């Protein structure tokens, strides 16, 4: 019984000490937000923007270690792979690839990940209609970028889409 009490006490001390190791939870400025139809934008804001934009909501529990460390890591990784807050700054080829990956991940239910949805972000669940709408939008945007490239109107940057 003494060993259990010792383990619990050490765990409690470790949890308290962990609170002194803070992580960056800042939201950099939005450079150029994604332009999408209002219904698509609403779905993306609800299900994607916390990790894939500079408009992350940081609820109270994200300020408590070790949850704060996990959330900061996930947001950093999410912004690194796709950040809607600098969308217009990206080359057309990069946007084309990201739209294809978005379509793939949404259709395969890989995004948003289950560990983000359950138990704290149930509103981020994507219904079949939400997934179809995002997928259709991504396909339309990709086709338009490819059409512009093939017509020699390759938008903001050179490079194959």
pLDDT per residue as tens digits for the range 66-104: 888 888 999 999 999 999 999 999 999 999 999 999 999
Both structure tokens of 17: 């000490």
Q: pLDDT of 27-60, one tens digit each? A: 899 988 888 999 999 999 999 999 999 999 988 8
Over residues 9-37, mean pLDDT: 81
Please report the pLDDT score of residue 155 as a whole number.
56
Name the residue among 69, 83, 73 with its Cα closest to residue 33.
Answer: 83
Eight-state DSSP code of residue 28 = P
135 Cβ contact list (under 8 Å, min separation 6): 103, 106, 107
Q: Exposure pattern of 101-123 as b/e (b: 16+ CB <10 Å)? A: ebbebbeeeebbeeebeeeebee
Give the pTM: 0.82
Degrees, nearest 5: CA angle 123-127-129 = 130
Give Cα separations from 52 to 14, 33, 45, 78 (angstroms). Answer: 31, 11, 9, 5
Helix (H/G/I), strand (E/B), else coil: 138: helix
Is a pLDDT exceeding 90 seen at residue 1?
no
Q: How confident is the model at residue 126 (pLDDT cuts 50, 70, 90)?
A: very high
């Amino acid at each position: 019984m003494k060993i259990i009490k010792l383990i619990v006490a050490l765990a409690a001390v470790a949890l308290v000490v962990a609170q002194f190791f803070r992580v960056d939870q800042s939201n950099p400025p939005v450079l150029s937000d994604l332009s999408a139809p209002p219904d698509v934008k609403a779905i993306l804001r609800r299900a994607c923007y916390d990790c894939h934009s500079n408009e992350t909501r940081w609820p109270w529990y994200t300020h408590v270690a070790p949850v704060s460390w996990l959330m900061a890591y996930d947001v950093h990784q999410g912004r690194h792979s796709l950040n809607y807050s600098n969308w217009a700054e990206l080359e057309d080829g990069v946007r084309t690839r990201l739209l294809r990956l978005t379509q793939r991940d949404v259709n395969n239910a890989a995004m948003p990940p289950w560990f983000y949805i359950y138990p704290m972000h149930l509103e981020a669940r994507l219904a079949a209609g939400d997934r179809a709408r995002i997928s259709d939008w991504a396909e339309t945007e990709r086709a338009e970028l490819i059409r512009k490239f093939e017509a020699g109107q390759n938008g903001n940057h050179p490079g194959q889409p």
